[in-house]
Structures are given as structure tokens and as C-alpha cells.
Structure 1
Amino acid sequence: MKRYFIHNPFFRLLTPLVYGVMAYLLVLLINNNVSQLNDFFSSQEVYVFIVLMYLSLESMRIVIILLDKFLPERYLPIRVPVQFIITTLLSVALVFLGLHLYFKYGVGFSMSGVQTLIFLILFTVTALLYNILYFSNHYLQKENTLKLSIEKQQQEVLEAEMVEFKNDVNPELLYESLESLITLMYRDVEQAEEYIDCLASAYRYVLSNRHKELVPVATELEAAKNLVKLLNEKHFGQLRLESSLEDAELDAMLIPGSLPIIIESLVRNTIISRFEPMIIRCYWEDDYITIQSKLNDRLLQHPNTELAMNRLQRSYSLYSDLTLIKVKAYEENYIKLPVIRVAEEITTY
């Protein structure tokens, strides 16, 4: 059974009490002669109204429970009029049965035509309001369930993309590194061995962190420096990574692969030559790690850059309200990466 408000114990207990008193006062106002009605009504009339209201609301609740079993969600267009008719007829019938017994055995005479009409309208409107509240709650719950389902699907997609991002082994970097390694082996064997160690460290980092959600900035920075060493062989040693991050800032967290992805993206989209070196600066600014380099873009952007940056942005949206920022200004290229602070949970015994 779905947890609609009509099944809430507090609602079932308090609503007949409050609504019964209000209905009793409404009857007094309709008759427009409180002094004459006081001669007719006694204090027990209030309790009679409360009991009748409880009988009315509970009978409608039972009908709704039964209709949930025999006319489920797929029959909703039929369910709405059927539920209103059945709940109204049953509620009014039980109320009039109770009134008949009360007037016959409690008061000693039957109801007048005006009283009958007043009670008929009152409890028909009550049934209408009860059904309106129920279906409003039903559609609201249905809409909320749909929204939660959509959000869950979106989160699953983002998580899948983040896993894909973290597990992505860069084939282009691998092929370029192997080509550089072949060239280096003919020139200097010892340097070639160091290059192999550097290449192994780069892919070891990817594999060792593929199941981690977050890693320290210090770890990412080491991976970025290792990547620069690999790329420097192709770019004649014209790449340099400078970091001004302090020890306390290195304890912040990033998604694995963030800095290497950004640095590789900058390198692949910047013109670099023996006469145009590239200096990449990494520093802390507010709640961001800013990666800055001189603006000297290639004519054609690398095809995988936009995809990689979009995946990176979506991955960070799971952990932070801050967005990844890309700015080109004053002949400088800025990429601001939001850092993630992990709150430590302290347990007291």
C-alpha cells in the first residue's frame, strides 16, 4: 500500500475531530438562529458530528483500499468517477443511517426536509473534498516518483561516464610514446629505459586508481609531471610544469586523471616549437586549482578535447556545485578545476 496521507494515523485521528467541529459550527451558521438551535441541540451534538465524520472518512478510506486492489493505476480514467460515486453513496448512506438512529432514539423524532438537505449537501461536499485531496496526493506522489526515477537514471549515466572516464586508457598517448621510445632507443639506451619507466608509471597510475572515486591533489600533480615528461620527448623538451601549491592545498581531492587530462588537452591544442616553449602553471585560487598557459592555439582543435572536457565536467557535477571553468583572456589560457573537500566523520564512543 502506498503511503498516502489518508492512511496516516494522525490524519485519521485528528481530521474527524477538527472537521466534525467545523461542520457542526457550519450547521449553526446555516440555520442562522443560534439561540433557537441551542434549545434544539445539546452538547452531545458535537460528538455526534465527530462520530459521523469519522464514519464518513473511514468508509471512504476502506473503499479506496479496495479499489487499489481491483482498479489499479492502469484503470485510472475509470477509477476517478467510480471512486467518487461509490465513496459518496456509501458515506452519505452510513451518515444518514447514523442520523436516523440518533434522531429516532436520541431526540425522539425524525429529521425535517431542510435538515436532510443540509446533511446531504454537507457530506456530499465532504466526499468530494476527500477525493480531491486523495487524487491530488496521488498525482503529486506519481510526479515525485517520476522525477526521482529520472534523477536516478541521470545519476547512473553520470556514474557510468565517470567510470568510463577513469578507466579510459589513452591509446593516442600510448602510440605516440611508443614512437618516441623507438626513436630514443637508437639515440640513448639509458634514456630509453627511463622513458619506459615513465610510461609504465603513467599507465600504472590509471590502472591503480580506476576503482577510486577521489585522489589527493599531490597524487594528481605527480601524475601530471610524469605526463609532461612523456610529452616532452615529442616536443623537444619545451614543456614545463610549474606548481605553487602549498602542502595544505595538496591534501584536497580531485577525480583521478583530472590534471593529466587537462594538461594533455592544453598541450595538444597549443602550438609548441623550439622557439615557442610552453609553460604550464598550476596554482590555488579560491576553491579552484587553476591551470594557466600562454594562449597560442592551433588552427584546428584536437577532436577528443571537447569530449574529454565534457566528461570531466559531468563527473565533477556528482561531487561539487562548482563547475569546471575555461577562460581565454589577456593572451592566457585558464582552466579552473574545482577541488573537493571531504568532510571527516568523527565517531564518539
Structure 2
Amino acid sequence: MKKLFVHHPLFRLLSPLFSGALVYLLILLINNTIEDLNTNFFTQELYVCIGLAYIIQEAARIIIVLFNRLRQPNSFWVKSILHLGTTLLITVGLVTLTMYLYFTQVLSYTPNYLELLIFNSIFCAIAVFYVLLYISNQFLHRVNTEKLEKEELARVRMEEDFIAFKRDINPALLMESLEAILVLMKKDADEAESLTEDFASVYRYILSSKKKEIVNIKEELVVLKTFIEVLNRLPFREIKLSIHDLEDTWVVPGSLLYICEGIVRSSISSDLESISVELKEEGNNIVLKYSHEEKLNKTFNISDLKMIVRSYSHFTSDSLEMYQDDAVKTIKLPKIQLG
């Protein structure tokens, strides 16, 4: 938040001049007639009112600084009421003390109740206006902050939706698959048709699963096998997938497909060796292990799975893990249990 204008040196210097003169003018109008203004305006009482205005406004400013640092109470309105009450009490005390000293030490008589009431009423009105300026500024800042937070949240959600949409469409895989189909069409039309069907079934699953938050792992594995067949026809290192018995559990749709694609894209391309991927269950996790031989400029790490990590965080408190040794990289997906 920008610095409040009441703390600006120019405002602190000039504002009491006008407010003090206004107080003195009101007191003259209360005690005299308008015709007496020409003869009674520039007198000692004017400078007393201006000086008292400096004291009151500086006291109110200090109270603003103190309340701005307070953490309690949390309620905006309770804090505002407490702030206003404190300012009024201190203003009444300062005005009463200053006027009593001025009347007794300078004018040599004790001020009566009506005179103190007039001074306190006017200066309290100025103090209230001063505090209301601060409270209104705080309220406006609070409203604007909430609007900015909502706009930022909407922007983040839009970016996440765009990233998710881009991930689902997967333009790189789309182009690579279409190019492979074009090449196969010239060599083997039946093989090209088979690749097209597999490619279409994978994309149907990816796009239709956008309406689902989780799917049964058996449904995911059926598509995963088809997806592996598509990847093996593209210019990547071949994947050999071995699936051990997996109990009936649930996964975020497309998570296993995304992991397998990350594996082949980060592995060095070779026709001589394949990637052995093992998928099994260990306790409360679905474990995926593979022999890694990654590219020098591209490694597969947990930051590549942040969208999946975020998705799993909605369904389980267990975190997705990835670690490796010299030959094997392990990825652990927490099992999602319903009920």
C-alpha cells in the first residue's frame, strides 16, 4: 500500500493551519457577531488554536501508526471503533489540559464548562474527520486488495486451465503421430490405419477424461497399453511395459500416460536397446520403475509432474515421490481410495 497522505510532511505542515483557523473562526461565530471578525480575527487565540490543531493532528497521526502495527483485534470494524474511541479520549484530554493551562496561566481565570465543551466539540470533530480519512483509506485498500486477489486467482486458474488444455491436446505428440501416419501410409496402409485407430482411441480417452476427476486404474491401463504401442511407432526408444497384479484402485486420468511419455522423451533415442518399465503395487503406492538412460540436456524430474502432483493433492495427503539410483528411477503414485 502506498504511504498514507496524512504522513506527508507538507500535509502535516499546512493542514493544522487551516483546521486551527477554522476552529478559531467557529468559536468567534459562536461568541460574537460576524461584524466582529475584522477586529478580532488575528489575535492570540488564533495562534493557540493553530498550535492546538498541530498537537491534536500529530497525536491522531501517532495513534494511526500504533493501530496500524497492531495485530489484534482481527476484525476491521472492531479495530476501527477502538481506534476512533482512543483518538477521542486522547483528544478530549489534550484539549482540556491545553485550554485549562492557557486560561489559568495566560488569561488568569479558570475556564467554565461551556467553554471547554465548545473547544472539545470542535476539536473532536476534526479528530473524527482525521480518523475517518484513515479508516476510509484502509477500507478502500481492503476492497481493492480483495478485488486484486480475485483477479490474480482468476488469472492463475486461467493459466492452469490453459496448461491443462495444452497438456491434454499435446501438440508435439499430435504432430509426431500425424507425421508417422503420413510415412506409414506410403509403406503399409494397414499399419497406418492401425496407428490411426490407436492414436484416436488414446485422444478420445484423454479428452473425455477431462470431465472426470479420477478413473479406475483398469481403465487407465487399457489405454496405457495402447498409448505405449503408439509411442513405440514414433522415433523414440522402445518401451517394454510389464504390469504386475494391481488391486482395484483409482488414479488421476492420464497420469500414467503422462509419466510414460515423459520417460521416452527424456531417454536417449536408440534402436539397440529398449526401456524396461515395471508397474506394480507396493503398500499404498503404485510404483513405476524403469532403467533410465537420459539425455544430457533433458532429465525427467518431479518438477515435470507438478500438474499431476497438484491433482493428486486434492484426493490424498500422501505425496508423489521420485528418486533414482545409478540404473533405476522410481516413481511412486499414491493410491486413491474411495470411501
- TM bucket by the smaller chain? 0.5 to 0.7
Instruction: Quote how far apart the aligned CAs of 1:328 are.
Output: 1.0
CA distance in 1, matches of 2:211, 2:222: 19
| Distance in structure 1 (CA, Å) of the matches to 2:331 and 2:161 | 19
Alpha-carbon contact 1:163-1:210 (below 8 Å) kept: no
CA contact (8 A) 2:236 2:265 kept: no
1:341 aligns to what?
Answer: 337
Q: CA deviation at 1:228?
A: 0.8
In the alignment, is the contact (CA less than 8 A) between 2:237 and 2:267 conserved in 1?
A: no
- Aligned residue number for residue 255 of structure 1: 252
User: What amino acid is the match of 1:80?
Assistant: L
Q: Does 1:289 align with 2:283?
A: no
Give structure 1 stretches of 5+ with no counterpart: 1-71, 87-145, 344-349
- Deviation of the 1:235 alpha carbon: 4.1
- The 2-side partners of 1:270 and 1:236 are apart by 8
Q: Is the 8 A contact 2:275 2:292 kept in 1?
A: no
Residues 115-156 of structure 1: per-residue CA shift (max 9 Å, x gap): xxxxxxxxxxxxxxxxxxxxxxxxxxxxxxx9xxx9xx9899
1:276 to 273, 277, 302: 273
Q: Deviations over 1:47-94 (max 9, x none)?
A: xxxxxxxxxxxxxxxxxxxxxxxxx946844x21555799xxxxxxxx
| Shift in Å, 1:272 | 3.4
Number of the residue aligned with 1:322: 318
Could you say which residue in structure 1 is the equivalent of 2:51?
A: none
**Is the 8 Å Cα contact of residues 295 and 331 (structure 1) preserved in structure 2?**
yes
Residue pairs, 1:1-349, within 5 angstroms: 73=76, 76-77=79-80, 79-83=81-85, 161=160, 165=164, 168-235=168-235, 238-246=238-246, 249=247, 251-301=248-298, 308-343=304-339
Deviation at 1:319, TM superposition (A): 1.1
Alignment-mate amino acid for residue 285 of structure 2: Y
* Moved segments of 4+, more than 4 Å: 81-86, 153-160, 304-308
Percentage of identical aligned residues: 29
Q: Which runs of 5+ in 2 are unaligned?
A: 1-74, 89-144
What is the TM-score of this pair, normalised by structure 2?
0.53
- For the structure 1 residues 154 and 326, does the alpha-carbon distance in structure 2 shift closer, same or farther, using more than 3 Å as the test? farther
Q: Identify the residue that residue 67 of structure 1 maps to in structure 2.
A: none
The 8 Å contact of residues 241 and 279 in structure 2, kept in 1 or not, is answered as yes
In structure 2, relative to structure 1, the CA distance for the partners of 1:203 and 1:171 (3 Å cut) is same
| Paired position in structure 2 for 1:38 | none
Equivalent residue letter for 2:332: K
2:58 match:
none
List per-residue Cα deviations over 1:268-326 (Å, max 9, x = no partner).
10123121211111111111111111020111117x97664111111111111111111
Residue 306 of structure 2 aligns to a residue in which SS? helix
Say if 1:317 and 1:286 are closer, same or farther in 2 by CA, change over 3 A: same
CA distance in 2, matches of 1:269, 1:195: 23
Q: CA RMSD in A?
A: 3.8
**C-alpha separation in 1, matches of 2:264 and 2:320:** 18
- 1:13 maps to what in 2? none
- Secondary structure class of the residue paired with 1:234: coil
Retained in 1: the 8 A contact 2:322–2:332? yes
* Alpha-carbon spacing, 1:161–1:315, altered in 2? closer, same or farther (3 Å): farther
**Alignment-derived partner of residue 21 in structure 1:** none
Aligned partner letter, 2:254: G
Is the contact made by 1:325 and 1:336 (CA closer than 8 Å) also made in structure 2? Answer: yes
8 Å contact 2:302–2:321 — kept in the other structure?
Answer: no
Tell me the matched-pair count. Answer: 210
